[in-house]
Amino acid sequence: MTRAALAALALAAVPALAQREMLDGAGRYVVVPAKVERVYAAGPPASLLVYAINPEKLLGWTRALREDEAPFFPEKYARLPELGRLTGRGNTANVEVLLRARPDLVVDVGATAPVFVSLADRVQQQTGLPYLLLDGRFEAIPETLRALGHAMGDTAAAERLAGYCERALREVAARVARVPPDKRPRAYYGRGPHGLQTGLGGSINVQVMDYLGAKNVAGGTRGGLAVVSLEQVLAWDPEVIFTNDPHFHAQVWRDARWGAVAAVRAKRVHLSPHLPFGWFDFPPGANRIIGLYWAGKRLYPDLFPEDLRAKTAEFYRLFYHREPDPAQLDALLGEPGVMPK
């Protein structure tokens, strides 16, 4: 498509409405339409927040919901189309796809590093569409919800969700503050089918561990996700392992090499619930708020005595607009490795 054609599509995509200037999470000033009815989410964390605030305004999922994910949503939203993602690994959308969707607003939620700022600026320049880049770190989620709710014109709904997240983060932080430093375990995040992808120090993918005060054994190097060797994990010898992958959790007990790791010997390898979105990571969005209570129970059971079924039902009702039935709760929390015996 020619530059002139792209410009014409961009003009057609932006209605002639009064506009507002907003400061996004990366410190960018973005002009947003006064009325926003159609929102394009650039990645999975943004999809969740747009959907949670007002599902009617989400144009589609970055990836179509799978058969085991769809039942956790009302049917009309489970069938929203796949639009691809603009950001992150495996990005599949392009400018033409974005323009054909005719959004009023493009939103990304997650890291606000220069590479993502550059992408936001480039897409905004190419399309003429307002592009908000919002901070997805735990501590920023309440204000990110408020900012997104303001942009979408759904401030009351966003405030309910922001208040829930604020209370949860404050409650969890207060509990963890009571744990002496020498009682905080050394932990490792084993991502993927072999458990050898992990989050380095400062990675948004290990924020659940960080927020709960666990000592990330891979935290000596700053960065994002990295592939490590089993020999390195053996040298770190973590006391606790979290994983988001059922295949890794199933095979770790059968591999004699992993059997030398303290966490495996102590049977402290924990599989996070992962439907419809992960509780620990994947994506690293607001879906991890409920994961703080789950992982907190694994690390400090005395400090997290609440009924996780009730917590789960509340979170899913608020964020997914459908409360799981008893069978779904059984499946979520009954998978081997999710809850202790």
Q: How confident is the model at residue 225 (pLDDT cuts 50, 70, 90)?
A: very high
pLDDT higher than threshold 50 for residue 229: yes
Ranges for all domains in the chain classified under CATH 3.40.50.1980: 3-172, 179-334
The answer to whether residue 17 scores a pLDDT higher than 70 is no
Among residues 332, 209, 210, 197, which one has the least CA distance to residue 278?
Answer: 332
Q: What percent of the chain has pLDDT over 70?
A: 93
The counts of H helices and E strands in the chain are: 14, 11
Per-residue model confidence (pLDDT) at position 88: 65
Enter the CATH code of domain 3-172: 3.40.50.1980
CATH placement of domain 179-334: 3.40.50.1980
% of residues, the chain, pLDDT over 90: 89
The pLDDT score that the predictor gives to residue 73 is 98
Mean pLDDT of the chain: 93
109-167 pLDDT, tens digit per residue, is: 999 999 999 999 999 999 999 999 999 999 999 999 999 999 999 999 999 999 999 99
Count CA atoms within 13 Å of residue 253 on its CB side.
Answer: 12
What would the mean pLDDT of 16-32 be, rounded to a whole number? Answer: 89
Are 165 and 184 in contact by the 8 Å Cβ rule? The answer is: no
Q: Is the pLDDT of residue 2 over 50?
A: no
Number of neighbours of residue 306 by Cβ within 10 angstroms = 11
Q: With 70 as the cut, is the pLDDT of residue 290 above it?
A: yes
φ and ψ of 245, to 5 deg: -115, 115
- The mean pLDDT value for 195-206 works out to 97
* pLDDT number for residue 96: 87
Tell me the C-alpha distance between 182 and 180, whole Å: 6
Contact 165, 288 (CB under 8 A): no
Out of 3-7, 103-107, 275-279, pick the least confident.
Answer: 3-7
pLDDT of residue 92: 63
CA distance linking residue 208 with residue 221, whole number of Å: 18
Q: Which residues of 113-152 are buried (b: 16+ CB within 10 A; e: fewer)?
A: eeebbebbeebbebbbbbbbbbbbbbeebbebbbbbbbbb
The C-alpha atoms of residue 338 and residue 341 are separated, in whole angstroms, by: 9
Higher pLDDT, 99 or 10: 99
CA 173, chain centre distance (Å):
19
Which of the four pLDDT bands, split at 50, 70 and 90, describes residue 8? very low
Q: DSSP class of residue 51?
A: H
State residue 332's pLDDT score: 96
> How far is 292 from 141, CA to CA, in rounded Å?
14
pLDDT tens, position by position, 53-110: 999 999 999 999 999 999 999 999 999 999 998 876 556 667 888 999 999 999 999 9
Predicted local confidence at residue 340, as pLDDT: 79
Q: Per-residue pLDDT for 214 more than 50? A: yes
Residue type, 66: R
pTM given for the model? 0.92
Lowest model confidence (mean pLDDT) among 84-88, 99-103, 185-189, 261-265? 84-88
Residue 9 has pLDDT above 90, yes or no: no
